[in-house]
Amino acid sequence: MRSSQLAPSSRPAHPAPVLAAVVFTALATLLLLLVVTEWRPLLSFDRSVGDALHDLAVGNPALTRTNRILSDWVWDPWTMRALVAVVFLWLLRQGERLLALWIAATSAVGALMQQGLKAAVGRDRPEWPDPVDSAHFSAWPSGHAMTAVVTCGLLVWLLWLRGADPRLRTAVLVVGAVSWIGVGVTRLYLGVHWASDVLGGWLLGAAVVALSAVAYGRLIASREGTSA
């Protein structure tokens, strides 16, 4: 591999991912405890948000169909994973084998964590007498929300790592923010998740990306120290 290809992946360590990892992990853990203990103010908030959005969905079938398309196709977890696969193949073609495997592994870890927590928490999804959509398996955390944050977060991190143009990084960050906020809203609008399910997906996804960035930075630093 040429040295020029290594440079973008060897950017200096930055304290921001460490702080982000600590904050997002702590917030996700706190929210998990509130969900598991069925903290009444949280349940009341979830119910009020769910009732309001469900009434809106029932009364606006055209908007509901749009939300289903966005949720089931544009921001579906498998769409996000396909994007990761494209990035994985592109990195391999660039000779960045370690980084390609790291991106793929982070995405896989996020998916496994999501499914494991769903099984462990076992939270029931919202039930409505007149549902506009359906979903299976446990509710917490939202898989759509978590997968969107992991995927878009990895893309933003990758662009920073490779020293991409700031305008491109900003554009991807904006598109990513629209995606993870948008998919969370669609899941709430369709009545298949509580608000705290979506918030949990966002926090856990951000924690996974931050922890991955910290671990990768330390791995690269240790390899460079050994080779020196």
How does pLDDT run across 77-100, given as a tens digit for each residue?
999 999 999 999 999 999 999 999
| Alpha carbons 146 and 183: distance in angstroms, whole number | 10
| Alpha carbons 43 and 34: distance in angstroms, whole number | 9
Q: Residues 140-159: what's their mean pLDDT?
A: 97
Query: What is the pLDDT at residue 8?
Result: 47
Q: Residues 134-161: what's their mean pLDDT?
A: 96
Looking at the predicted structure, is the pLDDT value of residue 141 above 90?
yes
Looking at the predicted structure, is the pLDDT value of residue 183 above 90?
yes
Looking at the predicted structure, is the pLDDT value of residue 208 above 50?
yes
Query: What is the pLDDT at residue 223?
Result: 84
| CA-based nearest residue to 97, from 191, 17, 172, 9 | 9
Which pTM value belongs to this model?
0.92
The pair phi, psi for residue 39, each rounded to 5°, is: -60, 120
pLDDT band at 151 (very low <50, low <70, confident <90, very high): very high
Query: What are the pLDDT digits (tens) for 30-58?
Result: 999 999 999 999 999 999 999 999 999 99
Burial class (CB in 10 A: 0-12, 13-18, 19+), 145: buried
Q: Residues 184-212: what's their mean pLDDT?
A: 98
Contact 154, 84 (CB under 8 A): yes
Query: What is the pLDDT at residue 14?
Result: 62
pLDDT band at 215 (very low <50, low <70, confident <90, very high): very high
What is the percentage of the chain residues whose pLDDT exceeds 90?
88
For the packed helices 195-227 and 143-161, what is the interaxial angle rounded to 10 degrees? 30
| Alpha carbons 191 and 52: distance in angstroms, whole number | 10
Domain 17-227 has CATH 1.20.144: yes
Looking at the predicted structure, is the pLDDT value of residue 7 above 50?
no
Going by the DSSP 8-state scheme, the letter that residue 164 receives in this structure is -
Q: Where are the domains of the chain?
A: 17-227
Looking at the predicted structure, is the pLDDT value of residue 218 above 50?
yes
Q: Residues 2-10: what's their mean pLDDT?
A: 42
